[in-house]
Amino acid sequence: MTLALLGNPNSGKTTLFNAMTGMRQHVGNFPGVTVERVQGPLRLSKGADVLVDLPGTYSLTAFSREEAVCGEFLREKPPDAIVNVVDATCPARGLYLTLQLLETGLPVVVAMNLMDEVRAAGGRVDCRALSRALDVPVLPVCAARNEGVEALARAALAAAREGRAPRLPDLGTAQGEARILARYACIDRLCARAVAEGTSAARRRTAAADAVLTHRIWAFPIFLGVMGLVFFLTFGPLGGLLSQGFRRALEGAGALLETALARMGAADWLRAMMVEGVWAGVGCVLSFLPTILTLFFLLSLLEDSGYMARMAFVADRALRRLGLSGRSLAPALLGFGCSVPAILATRTLPSRRDRQLTILLIPFLSCSAKLPIYAMFARAFFPGHAARVMLLLYALGVLLAVPAALLLRGAAFPGEAQPFVLELPAYRMPTLRAAWRLMRVRAAAFVRCALTTLLLASVALWALQRVDWALRPVPDAADSALAAIGRAVAPLFAPLGFGDWRAATALLSGLLAKEGVLAALSVLLAAPTEAALSAALPHVFTPLAAVSFLVFTLLYTPCMAAFAAARRELGGLRWALGGAAFQTAVAWLAACLTHCLGAILGVS
């Protein structure tokens, strides 16, 4: 059987989906996290039944893309039953969708979620009274604590097996606007009978916090301070402590691998490939895993608390001057993790113009795959200043997105963004479970990339730097086929200060996956550990060239996975190629300007 999960944005729907299926879909205290249909096996029935998580929507009337997706699914593939998730802290808002779902004639079970917050505020939702009035099961649930989830799953399966259409509340025979008013009148009667609001203390605390965090003057400095603290902890005491132990473990593993191959009597070429190719490329990138996980852990706490949603509200006024709205901030924030889900998240934007403009700007926001590159160069050239280097690079990407947006708006996307209405979520205490789940997902994705794309790329780079075009072994890597490829494109980067063929080859490797830049440098410089690569980089780059290289890496075209996602969402190869060319041109100009300014100022 197929069960469909529907509810308002930010009602805890995806948290409930994870609890009912055991999956790990991304959860955030921010409207619009779910952007496409996701399905998983129902845990209670051991995979025999399927639960489908649909994008959050306020109604089935197709005014937005999310509403259209939900309506099409219910019409074209009617589920056996619907699990309707309602935010118990504000049931009046969610019950409008409930009434529309009852009108479909499909079996419905209502999950009254976030009941723990209702109880904490001294409120009450009489689920039994609502159940009698709506003629469907209404169950209290707290998805984050896994309370009532199994009972909800059993009730949904029972409703699906029974297949009984619910008896509609008395809405009369009116249609159109009169029908809408009749639904709201019915909701007022239901809430008067079954809902008692709690104390206003929580609302007063929220209003007091919002008065500061969304202040027209203080909001932005506070945001900079918060992000500065995040980077300080990531590259300072917290992330540094975790990285040191992990780094030592990887260095020990590399030494054990080399010793084991020697004891096995492995051929010299195999030992060289495993140590100088595979381990140099993969191991060096993996050494930054604790740093990445620390950053995502801290950002997850901020998102879970409801703070990031406030930033969308604050940013709306500034973004409107660029032709966007605060709604574009949600995909942009995802872009700091990975450009692919960020590009997919633009589906929540109401107009094609807003979606295309946001997609073309997302690559200017540094994804997590570039983080190891920044950290490695900061260690090699600016020891003790890693947090400042990171913050400056992330800020530079955001700042350069501003003129890029103005240029794109004037050249290809005239007009104004759609009006922006945002329901600010309640402040919530971040849960370690949600942060841990996000860390596991990111760690799995990072390791999967290292053991697939980077492993193959490292072996290919190692092999190509040992043979010429006739596949004859060469004693010097400078005479190899790989060097010939690098030299063909190196002149393009000479004005930027890094015309070395190894730097050019590393940037080409980054087109597959941005982690490939660091993996390529590790292989090409025969530096299998982070310490060895840190010592080798100054032989290829001057400090000024290193800064220019970082600026170019920050801004140039995203990886192939992001390019493919952009092509699909932009609606064609022409748009995707144009976007990639535009981003690379901006990267080249910014890096060239950086190098020229440094040279004028006498920086070497």
163 is an annotated ligand-binding site residue: no
- Residue 430's nearest CA partner among 297, 239, 293, 242 is 297
Helix axes 573-600, 386-411, angle to 10 degrees: 130
What's the CA gap between 214 and 72, in Å, rounded?
Answer: 37
18 is an annotated ligand-binding site residue: yes
**What are 596-603's contacts with CB under 8 Å, separation 24+?**
598/497, 598/544, 598/547, 598/548, 599/544, 603/543, 603/544
7 is an annotated ligand-binding site residue: yes
Specify the 3-state DSSP secondary structure of 40: strand
- Element at 388 (helix H, strand E): helix 386-411
13 is an annotated ligand-binding site residue: yes
173 is an annotated ligand-binding site residue: no
384 is an annotated ligand-binding site residue: no
Specify the 3-state DSSP secondary structure of 380: helix
14 is an annotated ligand-binding site residue: yes
11 is an annotated ligand-binding site residue: yes
What pLDDT does residue 29 have?
44
What pLDDT does residue 151 have?
93
Residues in the chain, total: 604
489 is an annotated ligand-binding site residue: no
114 is an annotated ligand-binding site residue: yes
32 is an annotated ligand-binding site residue: yes
22 is an annotated ligand-binding site residue: yes
34 is an annotated ligand-binding site residue: yes
Q: Which residues are within 8 A (CB) of 596 and not within 5 positions of it... i.e. 6 or more apart?
A: none
Q: Which residues are within 8 A (CB) of 238 and not within 5 positions of it... i.e. 6 or more apart?
A: 294
33 is an annotated ligand-binding site residue: yes
Pair 160, 3: CB distance under 8 Å: yes
331 is an annotated ligand-binding site residue: no
| pLDDT mean values, one per 10 residues, the chain (604 residues) | 89 88 63 66 81 86 67 85 92 91 92 88 88 92 89 93 83 75 89 80 77 87 85 78 81 84 84 80 78 81 81 80 80 80 78 87 87 90 86 90 88 75 75 76 76 80 84 83 90 93 91 86 85 91 95 91 87 89 94 93 78
499 is an annotated ligand-binding site residue: no
146 is an annotated ligand-binding site residue: no
Tokens found for residue 561: 């996975």
259 is an annotated ligand-binding site residue: no
Pair 15, 147: CB distance under 8 Å: no
**In the chain, which residues fall in CATH 3.40.50.300?**
2-196
8 is an annotated ligand-binding site residue: yes
Q: Which residues are within 8 A (CB) of 1 and not within 5 positions of it... i.e. 6 or more apart?
A: 49, 50, 80, 81, 157, 160, 161
Classified by CATH at the fold level, domain 2-196 comes out as: Rossmann fold (3.40.50)
DSSP state letter for 452: I
pTM flag (> 0.85): no
Cα→Cα distances 439→19, 204, 291, 402, 445, Å: 17, 33, 11, 31, 10
199 is an annotated ligand-binding site residue: no
What's the CA gap between 595 and 322, in Å, rounded?
Answer: 28
What's the CA gap between 110 and 319, in Å, rounded?
Answer: 38
452 is an annotated ligand-binding site residue: no
Pair 459, 273: CB distance under 8 Å: yes
Q: Which residues are within 8 A (CB) of 567 and not within 5 positions of it... i.e. 6 or more apart?
A: 573, 575, 576
